[in-house]
Amino acid sequence: MPADDLQALLKGPVAPLYYFYGENTRLLDDALAGLKKNLFADAEADFDCERFDAQAHAPAAVLMAVRTLPVCFKRRLIVVQRIDAWEDDELKKLEPYCLKPSASSCLVFASTAEKKKLSGWLKKTGRVFACANPRWDSDVRTFAQQELARHRKKAGPGALALLCQNLDGNAQTMAGEIEKLVLYCLDRQTIEEADVEQALSVGHRTTIFNLVDSIGESRLDYSLSCLKQLLDDGMPALQVLAMVARQFRLLARARDEGPQAGPARIRQLLGLKSEYLARGIIKQAGNWSPACFGAVFQELASADRQLKSSRKQGRLILENLLLRLAGLRG
């Protein structure tokens, strides 16, 4: 489903049933965010929004949820991920509901591989969309332009061409690469070819990721050494901080998933390029207790305020940040 089709979907009335399948989890996330906005505007909807994972939940739990009346809104949003984990006999338990859905719920199914039976039922009472990754060079180019616009950035022709050469066609990982580029060009709206070469080059990436990995692993001496090299090479302190903050967002999300989430799940959730990287995130996340992340993000916010308003040197602010983060591990 192209992004343009998604926009048309979100402008229409909310259907009682949706089925999104395909490898483009980025598009699925956008679809769910759009449905939530249509149903709940910008209000919190904890009581009227539930998520299920077919690998962990039975059809009976989903049926109970969709038949529960809304608490605060006119309709509830029920999302069932990895629906392809259910065998056909389990899936068939949902057929009567799919053919006659409740008007007080919006039930959304999601899977990588299409379940043909489910598609057949929902085409009668709901909407079915294929969420495919960008397939052609023109699709990758359009995706890159849309992601840059999402961050209020644009790229010159040469920069855009070079960026597209560095993208692998997976929407989630491409979004992650573009986010790195955006963070590198934090203070500028237009991205140039040299920015792409620096932000996404192997040598530069190794240095910044050595830093964030060593922080995640609480290797303080090496973290301080990497920080010195980055700053000596001219990377602005705010860009370094942005990359550190991004690493801790990844660690926090992996920690929230718990030890039962394997590398494949974490790779998909975080948009990582390989399960090798996902295993590294899982290992690092295990070094930090769930309770410490609140303090971590407070320290990151404090460093951000200091870098933007204090007369202290950026190097000193970041060195102090690394020291304080090292004391929070637990």
At 86, phi and psi to the nearest 5?
-80, 135
* pLDDT tens readout for residues 153-166: 999 888 898 888 77
The pLDDT value given to residue 202 = 44
**DSSP string for 4-67:** HHHHHHHHSPPPSEEEEESS-HHHHHHHHHHHHHHHHTTS--GGGEEEEETTT--HHHHHHHHT
> At residue 80, does pLDDT exceed 90?
yes
Report how far residue 253's alpha carbon sits from residue 257's, in angstroms, rounded to the nearest whole number: 6
Report how far residue 298's alpha carbon sits from residue 29's, in angstroms, rounded to the nearest whole number: 27
- Other CB atoms within a 10 A radius of the CB of residue 85 amount to 15
Tokens of 304: 């951000």
> At residue 264, does pLDDT exceed 90?
no
The pLDDT value given to residue 53 = 93
Report how far residue 224's alpha carbon sits from residue 125's, in angstroms, rounded to the nearest whole number: 58
* pLDDT tens readout for residues 178-224: 888 888 888 889 999 888 877 775 445 556 778 888 887 878 888 89
H or E element: which one contains 253?
A: helix 237-257
In the structure, what pLDDT confidence band is assigned to residue 51 with cuts at 50, 70 and 90? very high
Report how far residue 4's alpha carbon sits from residue 40's, in angstroms, rounded to the nearest whole number: 23
* pLDDT tens readout for residues 1-44: 455 577 777 777 899 999 999 988 888 888 888 999 999 988 88
**DSSP string for 58-122:** -HHHHHHHHTSPPSSSSSEEEEEE-GGGS-HHHHGGGHHHHHS--TTEEEEEEESS--HHHHHHH
**pTM reported for the whole predicted model:** 0.61
Is the Cβ–Cβ distance between 196 and 153 less than 8 Å? no
> At residue 168, does pLDDT exceed 90?
no
* pLDDT tens readout for residues 129-150: 888 888 888 888 999 998 999 8
- Domains along the chain? 3-130 (3.40.50.300), 230-324 (1.20.272.10)
Rg over CA atoms, the chain: 22
H or E element: which one contains 191?
A: strand 190-191
Question: Torsion over CA of 279, 283, 286 and 288, rounded to 10 degrees?
Answer: -110
> At residue 287, does pLDDT exceed 90?
no
> At residue 110, does pLDDT exceed 80?
yes
Mean per-residue pLDDT, 236-253: 88
